[in-house]
Structure 1
């Protein structure tokens, strides 16, 4: 039986983000199929390590197949472990699985050096990497957003030097190093065409990256709703996410304030509910921003409850101000058959095309107009619900993954032509 290790930069038991959730769902589905699968996640950095690890402890075992490593923190520019001893331990730990397939969902907290050494140590194993964002291209946390807050459309050594205050040669070397690391993988995957295109424009050879949307298990029952139920939903909007600057929650609050200030006559009350954030967290992030009466904070929610919660709303709003790749909230909204209002860039534009409504990114006035254009409009709600296709389920993802990575019932092939330092 083929042994598979799924490796993520974080562990969803400790932090809930799209990349680690996609990785963990893949692991759980492989286990349900009886596969010889393991999961290795990490804490994000020293702050989490202090919460969850005792002195000298390097790994938490959630089960005999499910591990979380103590993340030491990582320089996002070099993408390397700070200490050689930490890299030594990580290489030894991963190599001990003697797996046929190592599937990396990110390389943050793992390190380019770790991957290089592991590749040399296990030349017959299949190495796969899912690119969840733009860290290899952009040293500013992989967001392709300039320090000024302006969107960045393409990297270059001069532009990056001006943004991050480092000499251009540093970015020439970083790019060469990242491309060399990506060349060590047998297969590169992207959950969106947008991300694939960005990497090819940057320098990854065309044809190297396959596009497979992340899998999501769900029930897609056809529910017949009365006009009264649809009317109630049509006045309810929701945000699901975190209180981070790039998620654009402040754009949504400003849009709600603009609607309130206009004192427009609405057929039914406007309600905007914020899930995943409490009012205190929001106030710490944006202390000078007053919250309109139509906005209500609902705090944290269990990930497994998300789709059911979404079914109670007419529209889900995703106002992120950076190049989101393939946000899990979009898949969850599709599973809930709840249309979206989304920023018009990146994976958000790609993934909501046809069934969603898009507005100019970071523009509260444009978002306010989008909300008002559908508020209380039952016919528009029904029209957009009818256009929603269910997201790819985990069975479909696994089938596509096996085909793309040539894993159907075979052992990993020997890597030919990989340059291993």
Structure 2
């Protein structure tokens, strides 16, 4: 008798971290590294824009990229080119994958998940990093154009945000997302909050596993010289500077603190990150603040390998996001650097930061309340004893061990027949194609539609 071949895990990511630094692709790659260090056969497959192929840096022969054209992606129905699905299925077969862990459907398209499941018959576990299947507004669950928090999706609420598609169009979108995801064998989420949202949306709770994102480097941060009573408190922001990250709220709080003579010289603010998708008005607002306040620094983008050192130089890490964050990796990075967090008191942020213990909450979007919390932090001078309460983040290997339990437990359905080489998969599956046609008939033309 011959033994069964070892598990070979395929991790599918919508981006490669050498090109894009978002939380989902970093979490996917961290898992890949963890599996590799545990000796588990695995491969990492990332979608990369054709124009960015020369920027990709692959660290091993087990990393693969599939190029795509961003113009050929429908961001409403999340449909990519059928050729992406074909290439993905072929690569999974060529690499003898035995279980698939998707970390996104962006760039590949939601149809790729269905295609992989139907054509390989392999177990598929999907890691959910945000609410894109539920919400067409960038998966933020924020209304448009008012940008208020959305408590729950419904055909009526979604149609109010997207009147150009109407109730029927948004119902069609929901049906497509739910039909594909319901075929998955399991789901992983790094926050209980996200699980609750998807269960309320209709996915079965018993298919979910709660696994926190890990970090590749969890070594203790460099020692910092003891602070004196006269040292200013440093508040530091890390991450993308986009319309949902609350940097505008932080700047408004800075305005309030700067108007206080009793706080002059007692604090500093650093904003680390790249500016993406903001309005010209915000860019002007940021430029004015830099020019006005000598205590405000905006160093710009940073290499993620430097984040531990940069955070260690601060007293508090700021996470002022105005949407329901799932599990921002910056919180795990802050804890690894032994720094408390000041965050909006909603979603996965409130779940990860214990108010008054590992940091502080403030009312989401409320600059006055944020200024109040920052003032309290200034007056308590950082409270170094708080560091003892900070949770130690999981390592990449610990994260991988938890995933292995989930992947091993995924039920394996009956395999589908292998298609003939003379009849390769050229098109989207018939259900996705029919959904697309139904959706197009109920909406005005928006962007590029996959043919």
Pairing partner for 1:42 from 40, 43, 47? 47
Q: CA deviation at 1:233?
A: 6.8
* 1:235-270 superposed Cα distances (whole Å, 9 cap, x missing partner): 11100011211111111111111111233345x531
Which residue in 1 is equivalent to 2:261? 263
- Judged with a 3 Å threshold, the aligned counterparts in structure 2 of structure 1 residues 241 and 282 are, in CA distance, closer, same or farther, namely farther
Which residue in 2 is equivalent to 1:325? 326
Which residue in 2 is equivalent to 1:8? 13
- SS of the residue corresponding to residue 324 of structure 2 reads coil
Pairing partner for 2:36 from 25, 31, 34? 31
Which residue in 2 is equivalent to 1:193? 192
- SS of the residue corresponding to residue 199 of structure 2 reads helix
Distance 2:231 2:338 in 1: 12
Which residue in 1 is equivalent to 2:283? 286
- Judged with a 3 Å threshold, the aligned counterparts in structure 2 of structure 1 residues 255 and 29 are, in CA distance, closer, same or farther, namely same
Matched, 1:394 2:391: no
Q: CA deviation at 1:51?
A: 4.0
Which residue in 2 is equivalent to 1:305? 306
- SS of the residue corresponding to residue 247 of structure 1 reads coil
Q: CA deviation at 1:89?
A: 3.2
8 A contact 1:349–1:358 mirrored in 2: yes
Distance 1:274 1:237 in 2: 9
- SS of the residue corresponding to residue 406 of structure 1 reads helix
Which structure 2 residues correspond to residues 50-69 of structure 1 after superposition, within 5 A?
Answer: 50-52=51-53, 63-69=60-66
Which structure ranks higher in relative contact order (CA pairs < 8 Å, sequence separation ≥ 6)?
A: 2
Q: CA deviation at 1:303?
A: 0.7
8 A contact 2:135–2:153 mirrored in 1: yes
Matched, 1:133 2:130: yes
Pairing partner for 1:275 from 246, 263, 272? 272
8 A contact 2:42–2:62 mirrored in 1: yes
* 1:214-252 superposed Cα distances (whole Å, 9 cap, x missing partner): 1113345498866x4265776111000112111111111
- Judged with a 3 Å threshold, the aligned counterparts in structure 2 of structure 1 residues 132 and 248 are, in CA distance, closer, same or farther, namely same
- SS of the residue corresponding to residue 77 of structure 1 reads coil
Which residue in 2 is equivalent to 1:20? 25
Which structure 2 residues correspond to residues 15-414 of structure 1 after superposition, within 5 A?
Answer: 15-43=20-48, 48-52=49-53, 63-73=60-70, 74-81=73-80, 83-123=81-121, 125-147=122-144, 148-165=146-163, 166-221=165-220, 228-229=226-227, 231=229, 235-266=233-264, 268-277=265-274, 285-289=282-286, 290-291=288-289, 292-293=292-293, 294-353=295-354, 354-378=357-381, 381-406=383-408, 414=412
Distance 1:278 1:209 in 2: 34
8 A contact 1:239–1:273 mirrored in 2: yes
8 A contact 2:236–2:270 mirrored in 1: yes
Q: State the Cα RMSD in Å.
A: 2.7
Distance 1:254 1:405 in 2: 45
**Ranges in structure 1 where 5+ consecutive residues have no aligned partner:** none
* 1:25-63 superposed Cα distances (whole Å, 9 cap, x missing partner): 1112222223221111123xxxx4324369xxxx98664
Distance 1:61 1:241 in 2: 23
- Using structure 2 for the length normalisation, give the TM-score: 0.82
Distance 2:40 2:143 in 1: 43
Distance 2:255 2:139 in 1: 31
8 A contact 1:243–1:282 mirrored in 2: no
* 1:182-234 superposed Cα distances (whole Å, 9 cap, x missing partner): 122111010100000000111112222111101113345498866x4265776
Question: How many residues are aligned here?
Answer: 402
Which residue in 1 is equivalent to 2:447? none
Q: CA deviation at 1:365?
A: 1.1
